[in-house]
Each structure stands twice: as C-alpha cells, then as structure tokens.
Amino acid sequence: MPERDPLHDLGVRAGADGGVARVWSEHATSVDLVVFDGDDLDWALSRTPLVRDDHGVWQGESADLRPGAHYGLRVDGPAGVEHAFNPVHTLLDPYATGLARADDGSWRGVALESLTATGFEWGDSAKPRVPLDRTVVYEAHVRGFSKLNPAVPEALRGTYAGLAHDASLEYLTGLGVTTVELLPVYAFVSEERLVRQGKLNYWGYNTLAFFAAHAPYASVAAQAEGAAAVRREFAGMVKRLHEAGLEVVLDVVYNHTAEEGREGPTYSLRGIDNAAYYRHDAHGRYVDTTGCGNSLDIAREAPARLVLDSMRYFADELQVDGFRLDLAVTLGRDDHEAYSPEHPLLQAMLADPVIGASKLIAEPWDVGPDGWHTGGFPAGFTEWNDRYRDRMRDFWLGDLRRERQTGSAGSGIGRFATRLAGSSNTFSADRGPLASLNFVTAHDGFTLADLTAYDVKHNQGNGEGNRDGTDSNNSYNHGVEGEAADPAVRAARRRSIRNLLGTLLLSAGVPMLTAGDEFGRSQRGNNNAYCHDSSLTWLAWDPADRARFAPELLATTRRLIALRAENPALRPIRFGRPGEAVPSASQMDWYNADGETMEIDDWNSPAERTLQYLAASTPETEALNRILLVVHAHESRTDVVLPAHDGVTSYTLLWDSADEVPPTDDAAAPAATAPGTKVSVDGQSMRLYRAEGGR
C-alpha cells in the first residue's frame, strides 16, 4: 500500500464534536491553535498546542473547532534575519476557507464545512468544457462589470450575485463570449502604501488567502451572514454561469502575497515560517521576482503544495473552469531561481486529474532575471502572447502614424501575417496555435478606445506623479490627444478600433476581449487604473453614457464573434505542414493585391501593405470551410483582385471593417463575387469573405 502523503489534509477539519488542525512549518518551535468568540474576535475561548511530526506538520484537536468557529495560529521559533516569528501575533491559517477580521486588523480563519454539507446543490449545472478552439475569453472585474447596470437590482450590483443575474447572463451570452475570466477574487487587501494615500487596490493582485473568496464582492446580506454565505454566493455565481453555458476562469496570484516586503504587514506565512515560504538570498534578504516585495518559494514542496491544493479546491469544490496564472514564471523557478518548463509545480498542475482538466493560462513573464518566457511553457498551457499584442497595435496604429508623418509605414506585412496565423515563430509545432492567448488590451494598460485616442498615459489621478504605468503603449491618438470634436478624427479612431477587433477575433489562437472594449469604453488615458474603484473603471450601461464612446461597436463585436464560431478555418487547432493534410489545421495560402502568390519582397516591403489570406480547414469534427481575409493597411483606397484558387468558385462578403455597423441577420444576402474579380477596398480596412465551392 502506498505511503500516505505527509502533507495531506492541511488546514482544519471541523465537525459537530470538534475538529483537527494541521499546519506546516519547518522552523517553528511551537504552534498553538486559538479559537475565538465569534462575536468578539479578540476573546480567546481556548488555546491548543499542536504537535510536530517528522515532516514539519503540526497537528492538534480542539472540541471548540466546530463549523463556523473563528480561529487563528500563534507561532514561535528561532531568531535570525531570515525568520519573523512572534508568538504575540495571531496568524491566518494559509488553508482557511472563510475569513473574518478583528478590530486590530489581524485575521481569523472561519472553519467551514464542505459546500455540499451545508446543503448547496449544483443540480444539473456542469462545467461547459468549451474546447479551446471555440473559446472566446472575456476579461472582467466582478465589481466593475455590474456596478452601474440598472437592470440588476441595486443590492446586487457589483457583486458575485450581480454577475450571475439574468441581465448579466443575457448580455454575456448575447455577446457570444464563452469564458469569463475574472480579475482576482481570492481574498485580498490593499497595500499599506495605498491605504496611507487613502486609496485601495481595485484590481486585487495582492492575495491574502488562497482558499477564500473575496468577501467585499458578495452582497451586503451575504457579508452580514458571514463567511459561509459569502462562499455560497460565489458558488451560486459559478453555477448560474455554467447553466448559461459560460465558463469561469480565475486570475490567480500565487507568485507573492499581501505581506509585501520585510517591513510589510505580517498576516500569515511570514509569521508561520518566513524562511520556508518566501525566497531569500544568502544574506536572508527577500528575492523579489514579482515587484511586490516578496516571492513565494515554489522550489519548496510545502509552498508548491499550497498552490496545488488551492487550485484543486476552487476547481473541485467550487467548480471553476480554469486559472490564469499571474507572473507565472515565478511559479516555474527552481532553487537557483532559474525558470524551467519542467518545473515540478507546472508538471504537477498538468498531471493532476482536476487541475489538468482545467484551462491553464500563463502570464509568461515576471520581473526577475531572465523573466520573459513567452512560448516557453509546457504543452497544456495557453500563454498570454505579448508579441501578438505589440505587433497588432504597431501594425494598425504605429505604422499608420509613421506613414502619415514620413510617407512610409516603416515595415511590411510579414510579421503581422505570422501573428494572424497563430504565431508559429513563438509556439512549437507540437503545441500549435491554441498555445497563444491573443489579446490587444487587458486590464493593465490602455483600453481599446484609449489606444486610438492617447499618445501618452494620463495617470495623474493615481497619486504617483504620472510615473506609474508603462510608457510603451504602441498607441496613436490620430492627431488629437484625448477627446476630439473633429468628426474625421473620431471616424478614423472608430475604424482603427474595428480593425483591431477584427484582427483579434479573426486570428488563429484563443482571443481575449477586455470588458468594455466591445462598446469603446474609455479610462480617459489612464493606463494603470488599479487604484480606482469608480465610474472610471466600472462598465457603463446607460445608453446615454455609452453614446459618449462608440456604441455601434457592440454590433460589430457580436458579428465578429459569431463569424469566428461559424468558420472553423479561422480557429485551427494545429499548425499545418506544407504538402500534408493535418487534421484540424488550416491550409493557408497568401496572395497580394493582384491575386498572385506572395513573394519574398511582398512580405518585407513597407510599400506592400495589402494581403489576402485564404484559409481552408482540414475537417476532423466539422465540415470543410474556407475563408478569405483581405487586409489593406494604407489610408488610400486600392483595387484588389480576389484570388483564383482550386475548388473556390465564388466569394461572399461577410464583414467589412469600413462599415460602421455590420449588416443585420435579416439583411439581404450579399451577391457572390467570382475569383479574379477586381474589388475596391477602403483605406485602412479589412474584409472577411467566405470562399464557396468544393474541394
């Protein structure tokens, strides 16, 4: 019989007759479990010394450890620069599934039964298991998404229940996205620096506890009822989204914690075993590869196990569908701080039957040495593709600026085409195009509308003298900084937004849309709005408010997502190989404006900014499909000869980025156009055709 894992069942197991606590600390000399009065979190009801085993696990039983009990840990240990033991501090159990805060600012765990034991029923709800090639990710903030929506009851706006409300679900399903990626929802606190400034951490990348949902995102009624009700509302949100066919992916921060640098607050891990949970150099100083003051030491078994157990809890107990791993390179660094795709934690995620069956999305960089590894994660991970983001912004915005200023765009169309077709220069053949999470914007940076309206960041409201936030935006204001009254400037901006949306949603890979970009949301040039919990960051829902932006973009976004779903040639699973029929790959042929096969000079010349991309699916689970995407990136109109290709008898126009509003479903079908026909294409525009005919 295999030996039982020595780190099994960490945390507390509470029952009607009391429970057991298990805590790991390698260097502690004593660990006490303290149970507090639920109405007075400073009043200790009992104190139980825990006993250490040979593996650093401290265990003990307490008759007071019943469901709903509030508890903490007091830990003592040796002195030394790498240690931070203080038995006076009451510390939070790293495995606490519910939280409560005492008046002095310290935290208590709340012992919760399993969700099903409380009577919660998942019913017929099940994980949608959306295939990666059909996935369209929608990055959203729980609070910001519904806070201003008048169709959601006021008491539920900005909450888990608000995101699960019928009005929210109807909007999301009507938009056509498949997967809602939520900015951090693990319990978090604001950095002490922000608190001193009277600000807060709105985004949530400052994790306090890895097993508890953030209570302030629950409704006021659930918060008043307590930790069990907060968890129940979170689970209810997941259930409702699943019933609507929507997946829930969580943006999770395991690379660092809210304890910040050595002068930061001590909430949990620092006081339990600072030397074992965090990375240190030979002098006992923190090794910070996150830019947030500390880095979890994932090279050690117990911290890595903490991450795996947290992911398994949310994927199994709370049924979430996947995880976006913030600064994931930190999670793949060994005891010498070198990153490896073979890191035991990354491999354990893939091997775990629950976690490995989930969507795993890596942010493939951190701020440590050799921190950029886009394309360097193992098969089974999808990665945020920053090279896609930068190229597509530069192609539609930076090159337009250069052409206006110098008469030359400065680059050809080749690198754009490589990203459009799945970034095969970044991701290996065995991983394929679905390893690329394509994005043009994210929560961090300019919104899509602001990319077209601002040349520089405007972060003065953040209280840091406009020093925070990136200066590398690849944006273009089209000649006017900020809001513009000139109709020509406004129209050019909308055209650029449509081109960027079209590129994102028609590229091979997995697209991610940032909430609000579908209607042109602006943050008034702030590209680092992490500390603003206000209408600056909340989604606008009132038609009058949306009219300030570009509300007609919503119809364009819906149309593009629908076209992606209808045309498998746009979403290949594998990279093709010349001369072979690779199942679920797209055969790609490339033509110039004259309908002739692209030559070497066509790819690299800044003068050649017109491309025709003909993609044919290789049927495996869906019928044969062909599309033709015409890209024209000069401002002047041009004539394009639609290419002649074996098996193609006609082309039917499906979408044109020159149109402010796409045709409605009841519009008359456009006439088919024969191969070899010369068509006039507007400047700075894209067209998608369906290529009709047999093989």
Asked whether 98 and 110 are in contact (CB, 8 A), the reply is yes
One domain for residues 106 and 124: no
Helices and strands (H, E) in the chain, number of each type: 17, 24
Q: In the chain, how many domains are there?
A: 3
- pLDDT level of residue 1 (50, 70, 90 thresholds): very low
Q: 194 and 75, same structural domain?
A: no
CA-only gyration radius of the chain, Å:
27
Same domain, 108 and 236: no
Q: Which of 233, 273, 297, 326 is catalytic?
A: 326
Calculate helix-pair angle for 344-351, 301-312, nearest 10 degrees. 30
What's the average model confidence in pLDDT over 311-338? 97
Which of 384, 413, 437 corresponds to the end of one domain? 384
pLDDT value, residue 177: 98
* Boundary-marking domain end, from 84, 116, 148: 116
**pLDDT tens digits for range 547-583:** 777 778 999 999 999 999 999 999 999 999 887 888 9
**Mean per-residue pLDDT, 78-83:** 96
Is 274 among the domain residues? no
Residue 566: how many CB atoms within 10 A of its CB?
A: 12
| Percent of the residues in the chain that have a pLDDT greater than 70, as a whole number | 99
Give a yes or no: residue 278 inside a domain: no
Mean pLDDT of all residues in the chain?
Answer: 95
Same domain, 102 and 183: no
Q: How far apart are CA 681 and CA 615, in angstroms?
A: 20
Tell me the C-alpha distance between 689 and 502, whole Å.
13
Tell me: the pLDDT tens digits for 461-488?
Answer: 999 999 999 999 999 999 999 999 999 9
Q: What mean pLDDT do residues 641-664 have?
A: 94
| CATH number for the domain harbouring residue 45 | 2.60.40.10
pLDDT for 3 equals 61
pLDDT at 2 exceeding the cut of 70: no
Residue 617: inside a domain: yes
Best CA proximity match to 203, nearest among 216, 193, 192, 188? 188
Residue 251: the pLDDT is 98
CATH of the domain at 650: 2.60.40.1180
Number of Cβ within a 10 Å radius of residue 75? 24
Specify whether 64 is catalytic: no
Is 77 in the same domain as 144? no
- Domain identity same for 582 and 686: yes
- 298 with 210: CB under 8 angstroms? no
Overall residue count recorded for the chain in this entry: 695
Domain check: are 351 and 229 in the same one? yes
100 and 122 belong to one structural domain = no
Taking only the tens place, the pLDDT of each residue in 120-168 is 999 999 999 999 999 999 999 999 999 999 999 999 999 999 999 999 9
Contact of 129 with 148, CB cutoff 8 Å: no
pLDDT tens digit string along 257-295?
999 999 999 999 999 999 999 999 999 999 999 999 999
CA 426 to the chain's CA centroid? 20
Answer yes or no: do 244 and 109 share one domain: no
Apex 207 CA angle, 202 and 211, nearest 5: 120
| pLDDT tens figures, 501-552 | 999 999 999 999 999 999 999 999 999 999 999 999 999 998 887 777 777 8
The dihedrals phi and psi of 23, each to the nearest 5 degrees, come to -135, 140
Instruction: Calculate what percentage of the chain has a pLDDT beyond 90.
Output: 92
User: Which residue among 363, 366, 383, 518 is the active-site one?
Assistant: 363
* Residue 10 predicted with pLDDT over 70: yes
Q: What is the pLDDT of residue 695?
A: 57
Do residues 246 and 171 make contact, with C-beta atoms less than 8 angstroms apart?
no
Residues 83 and 188 in one domain: no
Given pLDDT bands bounded at 50, 70 and 90, which one contains residue 108?
very high
- Per the structure, the complete domain to which residue 58 belongs is given by 11-116
Whether residue 33 contacts residue 62, with contact meaning beta carbons closer than 8 Å, is answered with yes
Please indicate, yes or no, whether residues 80 and 132 belong to a single structural domain of this protein: no
The pLDDT assigned to 544 comes to: 80
Candidates 669, 599, 588, 581; CA nearest to 629 is 588
Residues 438-448 have pLDDT tens digits of: 999 999 999 99
Domain boundary among 384, 406, 439: 384
Spatial distance between the Cα atoms of 523 and 527, rounded to a whole number of angstroms = 8
* Cβ-based neighbours of 640, under 8 Å, separated by 6 or more: 593, 595, 610, 612, 630, 632, 678, 679, 680, 681
Within 10 Å of residue 593's Cβ, how many Cβ atoms?
Answer: 20
pLDDT of residue 678: 97
Q: Is residue 448 part of a domain?
A: no
In tens, the pLDDT along 659-673 reads 999 987 777 778 899
Residue 326 among the catalytic residues: yes
Any idea what the CATH number is for the domain that residue 378 is in? 3.20.20.80
Give the span between the Cα atoms of 112 and 108, in whole angstroms: 12
pLDDT at residue 148, as a whole number: 97
